[in-house]
Structures are given as structure tokens and as C-alpha cells.
Structure 1
């Protein structure tokens, strides 16, 4: 076994090392459209290239799936990583239609990245996009601005009458219209949309759920023939099937990310980990189910997000094991 840049190559061939390098690049949070195009050219060279990349991606999936169910010591985790990496170009993959299966699998991996470790093609093609840990403010006009949180992608859609239209592809965005704004703005997210004229509001689209929070003024949330008015300090959630009731919120907590902070108030540890994972490269996994009952309170700076791990170690005696690629196992 050899090492390059502190990472084990486990005796891989040149093509497999290139595949692992692509995975590392795509999971870095800094991937660009140019990277995506270069990756496509590399992958399309042969079926073997597609297989190599699918196998390298599968390594991340295996670690992630196992991390949710098992506890590892260093030796057993090393065996997992070594064993998965050595399964490149196995007889089962090559025979019995394996090449076609691998080609189809790598297409799915590219469109739906395992564990959301890198941007999907729709995200890379967005008009505005932020990488891991990045935040960005965009002035779309003199009266309309959008603040993008980490890993957020938006696309500008053609105006509908006098209404500006923005699609939130994924992530979280805060939209503000100037007090004198008379032209409505519509933010499309999944199966619904939010319409506002003079308001400040936050739309969060992660997984299958969209969460709309009104921070000032009022907005109208439209969802499959239904519509609700959401006013300041209120929030509503919808998915493909339903629109929730309106609930009251604390804007200091909900909008803290715009000030570079994450605020947790009696938040279960799995929810904290889910949120922290958005702001850092790699992935944190809870490998001891007994930790799930811990409730977390605290204010954390996004630019020092790993301080969350330090608090967990100090306050709860949690052991955090750091692995290559930004993977952290909590036990």
C-alpha cells in the first residue's frame, strides 16, 4: 500500500487513481462547470473509466451507509476502505452485462450524487451557485437582492408579466425587496412558489421539503391549487403532497446564517449534524445510536464550524474520529 498526499492509494492502477482524484475534486465544494465538462470527457473515454468512477463513488456510499449502522475501530474501518477500493474491475462487474450496468450506474451517480457529496448537473448549470461554506449576496436589480447560503443554486427564469421569477434549485436563499418595490417577485421551489412585493423572506429547499420563512412584510405561498398568506415571524413548510399549517418562529434563529452563525436551541444531535454537514467538505456520521438523544444548545460561527465537534467532545464526552476526505465518525 502506498500513499499520495497523505491518502492511501491501496495499490490502485493509474485509471483507478484518476477516478479517486475525480471524486475528491467533485467533493471538494469547489467544483466548477469546467470541472464537470472535463470530468465528462474523462469518463466517456471508455466503459472502464465509467466503472472506475462508479467504484470510487461506491466507496463513499459504503462508508456512509455503514456509518449509520456500525461502530468501527481503526482496523475494521481500514479493512472496509481497502476492501471496497480493491473491488475495481471484478469478474462480476465485467461479465453478464456488467459493463452496461456500470455505465448506467455511473450516470445515476452523476445525476444523483451519493450522500449529496458534490453538485448535481442542474446545480452546476445554475445562474448563481455557492460552494461548501460559501455565502454570496446577489443584486438582481436595484430593488431586488438575494442572499445565498452554502451549497445553494438559483436559476433566473423568464419574467411572467410584470413578475420577476427565480427558481431555487437547491439550498437556502433569503430574498429582499426594497420598500418602494412595486414589481412582484416569485420564487419557485419544487412543487410550489412564493410570491412577494414588499417583503423579506427566506426559502429553504433541501431534500423533498421546502420551508418558507417570512422575516418582514408578508408573502403568499402557492402550492398545488392552495395558497396561504405568511406574515412576519411566521413559517410554512410544503413537499410534493401537502402544505403545512403556519407556525410562529424566532427570526434571530432562522436568519442567523445571514450573520455567519448557526444557533441551536435544544436541537437533537442528528439535526445538528445534518445542518453542520452543509457547511463543511466531507461528512459527519453518528455511529453510536445512543448519541441521538443529546440536545444541543449553542451559537457557532460558520467559518469555524468544526468547533461544534469540540463542544460535543467537551460537553458529552463524544469521541470524534477524523478520516481522510473530511469524514468524521462520532461515537
Structure 2
């Protein structure tokens, strides 16, 4: 009995998020599959909101389900597909298997990926990350669309009060969706230079050591600088700015060529070759440089960021430059031809 009493006291003192009952996790998994597979009716949406409001444990279970969804990026195809295009009795059985698998992941979450993600702050433990040369498109748990550019790492924190993306480094493009929870949670990106709150928006954020570049293509973004309790400015569609140690730079018209990376392209319009090389190098492992005598060569054209070898071949075919590769392409230099 003393051992049992000790265990009871430990469970009672544990955070509610870590002691959610299994049937609530099963229900959260079922809602996750339903929200993924179909558009809910108004009545079903009301049922979902009532289910969340039942208790703190229900809200914590759904927060965990959202985090799981964000961690997976989307419901894995080999889990979702068996539910589709099958007779009803087989689809129901497949659905039960999917829900059971998700419930197991939800139950294991605190001891698994929910715990290790906060250990390392260099990007390896980020909720979402991309390697050099990789771009990754994701649909978040709330339906928002997120694109991670090359060498990017972010953490995602959805709870009952907010939808937050914490940007570690790199560049992202976001197309926000209305909050499906009915809680009217704000959607924001936390950067090293300030907080960016979406106002029905599509925008991009690029973080460097010197500054954070914000460009808004739809809606508007509210900017709050570090140490400030109220918004500093609102950046409307068609405008861009930078956040740095000096504060918020004046707004300037959006540069569409600078947004071409969202489509996997580098758009150059009389751009110095050195800048073209610097941008391509972000998508390529190893070293990419150009000789000083051709660094100022004006380059125009559209170059694929996902195939830098092809981009270099296009430059060589169009301009008086030659590509010299050493160490199996890990050291590339553009020389005058």
C-alpha cells in the first residue's frame, strides 16, 4: 500500500499534460484523423469544440495531437491511403488501425520526441528542419501552409492561446489559415529581432545574423520589437522591411525577384555574378565562389535553386565564364573564359 500511495501522490503532482487518460488520447487521435480526412459540418465542428472544452485534459490532448501533426508534417500517406477507395467495412477497419497508431504515438510523446526537441538548440532537435539544398512544404495542424527554405530550422508551438512558430535560422514562407479550433488564436512568428503577427496573411521571413527580412504578399503583418509591449508597426501587402539591432527599417515596395525562391528559382535582373554565386551557394554543399575579375559581371535570367549544377551550366553557356570543379564538385570556382 505505501508504494501505491506514493505512486498516487506522484501522479497527482505530475502536470496534467503528462497524465492524460488513454481514452481521451484515443478520442484526440480520432479527431485528428477526421479533421485530416474531411471537411467537418457545422454540427461536427460544434461537437469538436465541445469535446475540447470538456476538461483541461481534453485541451492538453488536442495540443499534443496538434504538435504530433506538426512533427509529422502531415498524416503519413501509408496511414491515410488505406482508408480511401475501399469498401466501407474495410475502410472502417483501416481507420481504426490509423487511430490506434496515432493514439500510441500520443501516449509515447512525452518520453519521446516531445522531450528531446528542447535539448539541443543548434537545429538538430528542431521540430522542423531542412538540409542544405532542400526545400520542404508542410501543412500544419491548423491548415496553414509552411515552406522551409534550404538550411532552415523552426520550432512549432500550438496551444490553447496561440499558434507560434519560433524561427531558429533560415527562411520560411507562410500562408496562414483561419484557426479551426474556434478559439481565435493568433498566428505569429518569433524571431531574434522581434515578433511577427499575421493578419490574414501570406508572407516570407528570412533570418540572418545581421537582420530579419520580412516581405508581405497578402494581408498584413504586425511587428513588435524586442522589449516593446505594443506593436511597433503594421506591414501591409506589397511591402517589405528589415528588423535589426537598429530597429525597423523603412518600408519599401516588395521585390518579386527576391520572392522567386518560394518557387525554387533565382531571378536575376542585372545582378552581379558575385551575388548570384552567393545565393546559389546557400543551396549547395561545399564552396562556390567566383574570381574577382568577373565578380561584377551583370547577370540576368532564371536559375533553378534545386539543381545548382544546372544553374552553373546555364551561366557557363550564357556568359564568358567557365566552371572549374575540384574535389568531386565540393569546391567550385567561376573563372573568366
Smaller-chain TM-score bracket: 0.5 to 0.7
Q: Is the contact between residue 205 and residue 215 of structure 2 (CA under 8 Å) also seen in structure 1?
A: yes
> Does the C-alpha gap of structure 1 residues 329 and 125 become closer, same or farther in structure 2, counting only changes over 3 Å?
same
Match of 2:263 in 1: 259
Flag as ranges the 4+ runs of structure 1 deviating above 6 A: none
Match of 1:124 in 2: 124
Match of 2:30 in 1: none
Superposition CA RMSD, Å: 2.2
> Does the C-alpha gap of structure 1 residues 319 and 121 become closer, same or farther in structure 2, counting only changes over 3 Å?
farther
Match of 2:312 in 1: 309
How far residue 136 of structure 1 moved from its aligned partner, in angstroms, is 1.2
Match of 1:234 in 2: 239
Match of 2:222 among 210, 220, 223: 220
Instruction: Give the unaligned 5+ runs of structure 2.
Output: 1-119
How far residue 227 of structure 1 moved from its aligned partner, in angstroms, is 1.6
TM-score of the superposed pair, with normalisation by structure 2: 0.57
Match of 2:275 in 1: 271
Distance 1:162 1:121 in 2: 24
Distance 1:266 1:255 in 2: 16
Distance 1:310 1:243 in 2: 39
Match of 1:328 in 2: 332
Match of 2:211 in 1: 209
| Partner SS for 2:247 | coil
How far residue 319 of structure 1 moved from its aligned partner, in angstroms, is 2.6
**Which shifted more, 149-158 or 191-200?**
149-158
| Partner SS for 1:195 | strand
Distance 1:308 1:144 in 2: 31
**Which shifted more, 238-247 or 253-262?**
253-262
Q: Is the contact between residue 216 and residue 254 of structure 2 (CA under 8 Å) also seen in structure 1?
A: no
Match of 2:287 among 283, 286, 292: 283
Match of 1:109 in 2: none
In our comparison, the structure showing a higher alpha carbon Rg is: 2
Q: Is the contact between residue 183 and residue 197 of structure 1 (CA under 8 Å) also seen in structure 2?
A: no
How far residue 144 of structure 1 moved from its aligned partner, in angstroms, is 2.2
Match of 1:152 in 2: 152
Q: Of the two structures, which has the highest relative contact order with CA contacts closer than 8 Å and spacing of 6 or more?
A: 1
Instruction: Give the unaligned 5+ runs of structure 1.
Output: 1-119
Number of residue pairs matched? 209
Q: Is the contact between residue 142 and residue 178 of structure 2 (CA under 8 Å) also seen in structure 1?
A: no
Q: Is the contact between residue 305 and residue 311 of structure 2 (CA under 8 Å) also seen in structure 1?
A: no
**Which shifted more, 150-159 or 197-206?**
150-159
TM-score of the superposed pair, with normalisation by structure 1: 0.58
Distance 2:161 2:145 in 1: 17
Q: Cα deviation per residue 1:157-193 (whole Å; 9 max; x = unaligned)?
A: 475x722211111111011112577421111121212
